[in-house]
Amino acid sequence: MSSGLAVIGLNHKTAPVNVRERVTFPANNEGNLTRSILSLPGVLEAIIVSTCNRSEVIAQCDPVDKVVETILDTIAVIHGVDRQILGRHCYTWIGDDAVRHVFRVACSLDSMILGEPQILGQVKDSFRRDSAANTIGPTLSRLMHRAFFTAKRVRNETGIGVAAVSVAYAAVELAKKILGDLKDKSVLLIGAGEMAELTARHLIGQVMSPICVANRTFENACTLADEFGGEALRFERLSGALAKADIVISSTGACDAVIKATDVKNVMKTRKYRPMFLIDIAVPRDIEAQVNDIDGVYLYNIDDLQAVVSENLGERMNEALKAEEIVDDEVKKFMDWTKTLDLSPTIVALREKLETIRNGEISRMNGKLSKLDDGQREILEIITRSIINKIAHDPISFLKKTKSTSRREVNADIVQRVFNLHGFSNPRDELEENLENEADNRN
């Protein structure tokens, strides 16, 4: 197999957490690890993407099949993982499948939570680190920039990231729908359950007032309040805090209801029936169901929130279909670009020769052109450049329209012979840069 792109890695779909946690690439050492991969025979460029749910090596290889096995062996050695165990949990993508995978990861189509925005930032961080480590060349640079562009298209052209698909986030979005802007709203957190704490964390950036934390164990309330920059409250003062709270999140381990309907009725009179939003994430429930019958009170429990999440997840799945079409479109564009790489020496040599001829003729006629002013010289430059671009257009189109690899080689040889291009080839990175600029102009 010839040179090409490969992705070797594992994620939440292919490996349990006890394997994933053994195959991680710490961010503070990622550049050194990527350089280790780059030092392997046949690895031309490399980048590592490592998050809590995935560890991947993206590489430009020659030849692909042999290098993939070498990379897997190296990952096993670096992390002290049995090679057979690693092989069972790893995936390998080659060529356009590798490109599609990278684009899907950047677009959050391969994430545990479909459409979550954090993964794009993590991929960009990896790109920056490995760029600084000088392990990324023109092909991977082009690949990653097109991945970022594809992710932007998906965000702009679909609603994949709009609907809430976590219980905590759904609770906050419901609060916004019911109460409007949350900036001037006060929040009361009762208990210290993990889901309630996560919901409170989502609310921190939405409200101005410090979050009030009540817990039967006052020390625990103090600890959590310190994390939030909030205020701790003794449990016996809960009734007074309820009267001030616009949003109440409850998740205790109590066997009986902590907030009863009679408590809320009295509180609502004190509040003059100003709306109150209650989120009961406890099992068994902390808040009596009859509370929802009181005017101005909106009560949601864990089942209500899960139903919202399920509905929203269905919406995201529909949007994901649109996103997949965008990915397919961008994969095709990228693969079309890669097919031109073997033609780049011929194309740039042709342009270089025509430009050399142009400059030579202008220099030869310099004496006769001495009377031209700056404006006339500029017109001459424009005309002569336009002429050589038009001369180059047909042979370049002739080269690019050929899909067969063997035929492209024959056509490249024809153009080289017809225009006598030997000795007019630039370094590969400069050629590819020129082609990238050309592709960007087209797109």
Whether the full predicted model's pTM is greater than 0.85, yes or no, is no
In a domain, 71, yes or no: yes
Q: For the segment 106-118, what is each residue's pLDDT rounded down to a tens digit?
A: 999 998 878 888 8
Sheet holding 297-301, edge to edge: 231-234, 212-215, 187-191, 247-251, 276-280, 297-301
pLDDT beyond 60 at 368? yes
As for how many domains the chain has, the answer is 3
Length of the chain: 443
In a domain, 188, yes or no: yes
Q: Judge if 239 and 140 occupy the same domain.
A: no
Give residue for tokens 């986030």: 169
Query: What is the domain extent for residue 213?
Result: 167-308
Q: Judge if 389 and 284 occupy the same domain.
A: no
Q: Judge if 240 and 379 occupy the same domain.
A: no
Position 164 confidence tier, pLDDT thresholds 50, 70, 90: low
Quick one: which of 168, 161, 206 has its CA closest to 186?
206
- Where is mean pLDDT largest: 99-113, 223-237, 363-377? 99-113
pLDDT score, position 429: 42
Last residue of some domain: 254, 284, 308? 308
Q: For the segment 262-318, what is each residue's pLDDT rounded down to a tens digit?
A: 999 999 999 999 999 999 988 888 999 999 999 999 999 988 888 888 888 888 899
What does 31-73 look like in DSSP terms, one character per residue?
A: HHHHHHHHTSTTEEEEEEEEETTEEEEEEEESSHHHHHHHHHH
In a domain, 328, yes or no: no
Position 426 confidence tier, pLDDT thresholds 50, 70, 90: very low
Q: Judge if 145 and 176 occupy the same domain.
A: no
pLDDT score, position 423: 63
Q: What percent of the chain has pLDDT over 90?
A: 50
In a domain, 98, yes or no: yes
Q: Is 52 a catalytic residue?
A: yes
Here the CATH number for the domain that contains residue 186 is: 3.40.50.720
The mean pLDDT of the chain is 87
Q: For the segment 413-424, what is each residue's pLDDT rounded down to a tens digit?
A: 788 888 888 765
Q: For the segment 384-409, what is each residue's pLDDT rounded down to a tens digit?
A: 999 998 998 888 888 777 666 667 66
Last residue of some domain: 129, 157, 185? 157
pLDDT score, position 432: 43
Query: How far apart are alpha carbons 124 and 120 in whole angstroms?
Result: 6
Quick one: which of 25, 132, 120 has its CA closest to 79?
25
In a domain, 162, yes or no: no
Q: Judge if 171 and 150 occupy the same domain.
A: no
Q: Judge if 280 and 349 occupy the same domain.
A: no
Q: For the segment 50-107, what is each residue's pLDDT rounded down to a tens digit?
A: 987 899 999 999 888 889 999 999 999 999 999 999 999 999 999 999 999 999 999 9
pLDDT score, position 346: 79
Q: Judge if 12 and 139 occupy the same domain.
A: yes
Q: Of all helices (H) and strands (E), which one includes residue 361?
A: helix 344-364
Q: Judge if 151 and 178 occupy the same domain.
A: no
Antiparallel, parallel or unpaired: β 212-215 and 91-94: unpaired
pLDDT score, position 244: 92
Q: Judge if 126 and 32 occupy the same domain.
A: yes
pLDDT beyond 60 at 425? no
Q: Judge if 109 and 15 occupy the same domain.
A: yes
In a domain, 437, yes or no: yes
In a domain, 318, yes or no: no
Q: Judge if 363 and 296 occupy the same domain.
A: no
Q: How many CA atoms lie within 13 A of 218 on its CB side?
A: 6
- Where is mean pLDDT largest: 137-141, 171-175, 342-346? 137-141
Q: Judge if 375 and 230 occupy the same domain.
A: no
What does 385-407 look like in DSSP terms, one character per residue?
A: HHHHHHHHHHHHHHHHT---HHH
DSSP letter for 184, please: T
Here the CATH number for the domain that contains residue 47 is: 3.30.460.30
pLDDT beyond 50 at 219? yes
pLDDT beyond 50 at 382? yes
Helices (H), 133-207: 138-157, 167-179, 194-204
In a domain, 335, yes or no: no
Last residue of some domain: 136, 157, 178? 157
